[in-house]
Structure 1
Amino acid sequence: MTTGASTAAAPVRFNPFSAEFRRDPYPMYRRLREHRPVHRTLGMWVLTRHADVRAVLRDRTFSAGLIPRQIRRQADRLGVPDTRRLHRLSVSSLVFTDEPDHGRLRALVNPVFTAKALDALRPRITAAADRLLARAHADGGFDAVTDLAAPLPLAVMGDWLGLPADVRPLVGGWTHDIRFILEPGLMRADDLTRVREVLDGFVAALADVIAQRRARPGEDLLSRLLAARTGAGDRLDDEEIAFVCVMCFVAGVETTASLLGNAVLGLVTHPDQGALLRRRPELTAAAVGETLRHDPPLQLTKRLATRDVEIGGEWIRAGDEVLLCLGATGRDPAVFDRPDEFDLTRDTRDHLAFGHGMHGCLGGVLARAQAEIALGRLHHHLGDLAPLPGPEGEPTWQDHSFIIRGLTRLPLTVRGPR
């Protein structure tokens, strides 16, 4: 017999595996932020407040090196042999390294990702977006993900690297497989074996291109990485260069595709903001910034505590894992007024969608540029867009990752060019 007592006091449980969380994680984030902003569950600490997450991201005593440990542990547990190259990739990546390794890699890679170099890519991004949109328009239908958001970053990165035509069709599949390293605990033995084999093939293909660029350097990313030197004469070896290129795809393609897809979804499901953007195209950058705050592609990231530290009245001990809910921070009312509203006119500078501090996303500027240019070209080519009516128009969220929030399908109706 039920007592009729309120269930409001029931404990809030963080469950990133539920279908409800995949569809819309923000109600859960709100309940956690209000009732259990720093709590331990699933063997880790979960943080949802902007101030707490930002503090951990800034604190260099929290290690970003969890992934290499987890890959090695998973390979040992599953009995998958010869994952040495996979381990070398993880410990040679800016995303997963701490000092002093991180500082060395930054010194070599930062000068390659300059504002000037990224500005030079803008005509290529525009051309790629125009090709994709012209093809979609000729086909008579339009899916914002499959026709634009997913293929665009692959095309842009392929152009920047100067990849040969026979390699480009393979890179999308390779990237999808290798991205499993971002969530090692989800990998089964066959997943880990496939990732190991795909990485070998990817590095071998890049080795051929690196040899060609060494003989005939150009202005592409590979040539610039080959030429990179520190003041002390340090440089990247060929495998490290290949790893930088692999991680450009792994860390940049799916997040950029998700950013663009989420931006389009935000605009078509908030038609007042879509209409505002059509009237004021100078707000395109603001639309991307608001998407990064309101519905960012990277929702979760982890750190490892290397010392005892108090956060939000709880003691996190050295050796504890900490899950930072980046997606929750953009909806924190302590930082953003009316946080659940999608508003292109707000100031979004304090969002944490690209991280913060030492591990702030190196490719964030490129991701924003692609999303901004693509949104502008989208309205130029196709004009007013709206969700396809009926069940066939329902957006579909990806289900292969727990850290990325992005769509696999977003069919739209086209109401004619501007």
Structure 2
Amino acid sequence: MRFNPFAPAFRQDPYPQYAALRAEPPIRTLGMWVLTRHADVLAVLRDRTFSAELIPALVARHGGAVDTDLILRLGRASLVFTDNPAHARLRGLVNRVFTRAAVAELEPLVRELAQRRVGGLGHDLMAEVAAPLPVEVLCTWLGLPAELHGQVAGWTHEIRFLLEPGMVRVDDLERVARVVATFAAALREVRAPGLLRELAGARTAGGDRLTEEETALLGVMCFVAGTETTAALIGNAALAVLRGPVLAAEQVPAAVRETLRHESPLQMTTRIATRDVEVGGARIAAGDQVLLCLAAANRDPAVFADPDTFDPSRGSGTHLGFGFGMHGCLGGALAELQARAVLDALVRGPDLRLAGEVRWQTESLIVRSPQALPVSVAVGAQ
């Protein structure tokens, strides 16, 4: 069995390869174990002895060829890349302000922005709605000044490559370090009310608080972890609706949840074993990297009936679109809110149709979304 995530055919349609991998014991390739079965992926996500501290491993692999101290500090200030006790400390502080109630308060803003963008939609739903909306929402919530709104998407795209297994080179680290420094410096200057100021003011019962740098780096990671994946969720959900039967307004929340399972925006994530362990028949040694194919697990027929069919009426099940457990996506509720707002606007708006071939983006191995979503108003629609 071979697994080549760089192959053009895989980038356009990975699901036949995922199905073949699920039918066999886990394989080791590209220096990693590849897990595709729902039970195996869930077992690793639940097992806290598997480490998420990938930035130190990435830096060590490049042997100190560049100054990576700031990248290491970004990792230490990130919920994505930390293990306990550091993760528990950060989560305890962030959870004081990044709550479901706080996200719910954003709903009027999110719906207004989504309706405005869908109402002004020209030809490409991906470029005009899905990609800019998450950036606009986060910029507003964090309290960023208007002059930064046009810059953060580019900065985020550069830094996001730290999440890509096996794609980062020495010159990438040099560039990313410069961008992190620029982005963090800009966020340290933000004084307006918003999530950044709330993070800076958060305190534990024992008086612990985030440093100024930790606050800025957490702001950076809000964009890195929460904009391109949310754009992918919006694009994937919109594509499913455009390809499927007419969706009623009350079906929108279920359609978003089914998108997370059927066309997972985050296709895969990586862990490092800290002990010898057996998973799915594979004997994984301490220090081995493990590639968790979330999208493959989400189409496992052992868990989901007729898994390759997009069916909003199915039960939610245990989809892994937002990961699971300690490192489950903190921004999942906000991502779902934005996708629901866009689908609501589409359902209540003009009758749109796909206006061309849909190709999938190829820049990222771990994010799956259309490169573009060409649309037009159906003939005779008002």
Normalising to structure 2: TM-score of the pair?
A: 0.96
Letter in 1 for 2:74: L
User: Based on CA coordinates, which of the two structures has the bigger radius of gyration?
Assistant: 1
Contact kept? 1:258, 1:297, Cα under 8 Å: yes
Q: Which runs of 4 or more aligned residues in structure 1 lie more than 3 Å from their structure 2 counterparts after TM superposition? A: none
Counterpart position of 1:356: 324
Deviations 1:215-274 (A, max 9, x none): xxx3x20121122111110000111001111001000000000001011111222x22xx
Which of the two has greater helix per residue?
1
Candidates 299, 316, 325, aligned match of 1:331:
299
Distance, in Å, in 2 between the alignment partners of 1:35 and 1:64 is: 26
Deviations 1:92-116 (A, max 9, x none): 2111111100000011001211111
Counterpart position of 2:10: 21
SS in 2 for 1:186: coil
Distance, in Å, in 1 between the alignment partners of 2:278 and 2:72 is: 32
Candidates 107, 110, 119, aligned match of 2:95:
110
Q: What is the number of equivalent residue pairs in this alignment?
A: 381
Counterpart position of 1:6: none
Counterpart position of 1:42: 30
The 5 Å alignment of 1:135-284 reads 135-136=120-121, 141-183=122-164, 185-209=166-190, 212-213=191-192, 218=193, 220-269=194-243, 271-272=244-245, 275=246, 277=247, 280-284=248-252
Distance, in Å, in 1 between the alignment partners of 2:2 and 2:353 is: 36
Percent identity reads 55
Structure 1 residues 61 and 188: alpha-carbon distance in aligned structure 2, compared to 1, 3 A threshold: closer
Deviations 1:349-406 (A, max 9, x none): 310010111111100111011101111012223x322211xxxx11222222111111
Q: Does 1:385 align with 2:357?
A: no
SS in 2 for 1:296: coil
C-alpha RMSD of matched pairs (Å): 1.5
Measured after TM superposition, the shift of residue 181 of structure 1 is: 1.2
Q: Does 1:302 align with 2:270?
A: yes
Candidates 305, 311, 317, aligned match of 2:279:
311
Letter in 1 for 2:249: P
Measured after TM superposition, the shift of residue 183 of structure 1 is: 2.1
SS in 1 for 2:271: strand
Distance, in Å, in 1 between the alignment partners of 2:224 and 2:181 is: 15
- Unaligned stretches of 5+ residues in structure 2: none
Distance, in Å, in 2 between the alignment partners of 1:46 and 1:253 is: 26
Candidates 367, 372, 376, aligned match of 1:409:
372
Distance, in Å, in 1 between the alignment partners of 2:200 and 2:185 is: 16
Deviations 1:94-145 (A, max 9, x none): 1111110000001100121111100011111112112212322xxxx32120
Letter in 1 for 2:22: R
Counterpart position of 2:47: 59
Counterpart position of 2:22: 33
SS in 2 for 1:408: coil
Letter in 2 for 1:43: G
